Homo-oligomer: A and B are copies of this chain.
Amino acid sequence: MRIDRERATQVTVRDQPAKEHRRTRQRAAVDEVLDETEDFISAQELHALLRTRGAGVGLATVYRTLQTLADDGRVDVLRSDAGEAVYRRCVREEHHHHLVCRSCGATVEIAGPTVERWAKSVADQHGYTDVSHTLEIFGTCPRCAA
């Protein structure tokens, strides 16, 4: 197995502050959807949504745009269990995790300094350096449980 350094996880702290990109209709459209969407959404879903709105954007463009945003640290990425990448505008600037509803996808962003420290110390203990981690909590939200 080979884990790509750059894309290993969305929680890796970025060094470069984000290159400038051109403002285009397509990117604005994707941005708008992300702004309106509370929960994680897949590239496919986003593409379909744009299509129904009439603001057609090519699928490849949606993928590219999301990837760019992710690279710039402007959206959170995580993999749904099906292996599909799902995206979400991140609200917190700092490193954080998610509590995600299994059935509707409702998400709560969570800061966990304790966990951060724990992860760091565990890695140190085993001599691992350059550490990052992924942590997501899944459950059934109150609304879906009702």
Contact = CB atoms under 8 A, between A and B. Distances in A.
Nearest to A117: B114
Interface string A23-44: 0000000000000000111100
Quick one: copies of this chain in the complex?
2
Mostly helix, strand, loop or mixed at chain A's interface?
A: mixed
A131 B123 contact: no
Contacts of A130: 102, 139-140, 145
Interface stretch (A5-13, A14-22, A58-66): A5-13
Contacts of A137: 119, 122-123, 128, 131-133
Contact of A99 (B41, B108, B128): B128
22 contacts: A1-B41, A1-B45, A1-B80, A1-B86, A2-B103, A2-B105, A3-B81, A3-B82, A3-B103, A5-B102, A5-B103, A9-B81, A79-B79, A99-B122, A108-B128, A114-B118, A115-B115, A128-B137, A129-B140, A129-B145, A132-B139, A134-B135
Q: Top 9 closest A-B pairs, CB basis?
A: A128-B139, A127-B142, A131-B139, A1-B105, A133-B137, A83-B83, A135-B135, A3-B102, A130-B140
Interface of A: 1-5, 7-9, 39-42, 45, 79-86, 99-103, 105, 108, 110, 112, 114-115, 118-119, 122-123, 126-142, 145
